[in-house]
Amino acid sequence: MTALVAALALTSGCGLDPIETPHAGTDPAAPGSPAASPAPSPAAPGATGSGATTAAALLASLPVKGRAPMTGYDRAHFGPAWLDADRNGCDTRNDVLREQLTDRAVRAGSRDCVVTAGTLEDPYTATSIDFVYGDGTLVDIDHVVALGNAWATGAHRWDIRNRAALANDPMNLLAVDASANRQKGDGDAATWLPPSKRFRCSYVARQVGVKAKYGLWVTPAERQAIERVLASCPGQAPVPGSGAPVRVDHELGDPGAPVTGTPPAGTPGGASAFESCTAARAAGATPVRRGHPGYGAHLDGDGDGVACE
């Protein structure tokens, strides 16, 4: 995670080192999802854009194609939220909060993992946010290349371990204002840019770097939008690489099927919420996301909308 600190120093996006050379010998986008094509991905993760000295040059190396259908998309195809991808004993969400928040407080007995308070200098809105554990309206961890966008630009053909790597790569993660992140949704640069104009060069450069590392393509509209932003900062360097692999070494099943198992009625958090994560796991319903009848705030300790990760 140390590379993340350097990456977050970006405000105007100038003066950073070039992106790392993509990993050699990685498993190319192996089919594995129910929506996968029998053919291999046209661009293997880690195989694109080596040696570019500007974000614009790296963008020029990316394939340009239309969006693939969202058929079969589900957050579960990208692995647990949040996985301890680097096996440091802390989940990715708390790793990001520890790196990006200042004046941090952590929960006693959590091995300094669980962040309970801190201050975020939000890159998307250029405002200061006082983070409080359990308040899900304050800070989100944004996938800079949104997972839905990744699915529609190549990730639908990958093995779940490639997708889990993308979902947990520090290069693709920023702690940001929750409202701005939810306005973005699964949008790309053609449909959403940060309100803070001074951060836009850094933002699109990060999207380009992530897409290059993982072999994703851009749509024509997305490429044009990124080109317009980079035209205002022609010397914008690619963001530094995180050093994270493009395939996690965890054994992950791909739980693409809809949740089965009926939560018991009359339990805390709602008429049908699970009483505990143990009960949710016994029903085969984890993780339980906000909006599912089994979800309850008492199950979601970090308030991120995903319980019993």
| Tokens matching residue 184 | 């973005």
Looking at residue 13, what is its pLDDT? 37
Smallest Cα–Cα separation from 189: which of 155, 216, 229? 229
Helix axes 220-230, 200-214, angle to 10 degrees: 140
- Which run of H or E residues covers position 152? helix 147-152
Looking at residue 272, what is its pLDDT? 57
Q: How far apart are alpha carbons 44 and 31 in whole angstroms?
A: 11
CA-based radius of gyration for the chain: 19
Tokens 């072999």 correspond to 215
Q: How far apart are alpha carbons 266 and 284 in whole angstroms?
A: 19
Per-residue pLDDT of the chain (309 residues; tens, 9 = 90+): 444 444 444 333 333 333 233 333 333 333 333 333 333 333 445 544 457 899 999 999 999 999 999 999 999 999 988 899 999 999 999 999 999 999 999 999 999 999 999 999 999 999 999 999 989 899 999 999 999 999 999 999 999 999 999 999 999 999 999 999 999 999 999 999 999 999 999 999 999 999 999 999 999 999 999 999 999 999 999 999 999 999 998 888 776 533 333 333 333 334 457 677 777 766 667 777 766 667 777 777 666 677 787
Residue 83 main-chain phi, psi, to 5 deg: -80, 145
Smallest Cα–Cα separation from 103: which of 88, 94, 115? 115
Looking at residue 59, what is its pLDDT? 97
Q: CA angle, corner 161, sides to 43 and 111, nearest 5?
A: 135
Q: How far apart are alpha carbons 78 and 81 in whole angstroms?
A: 8
Residues 6+ apart with CB under 8 A from 245: 23, 26, 165
Looking at residue 300, what is its pLDDT? 73
Buried b (16+ CB within 10 A) or exposed e, 199-216: bbbbbbbbbbbbbbbbbb
| Tokens matching residue 37 | 């094509």
Contact criterion met (CB below 8 Å) for 162 and 27? yes
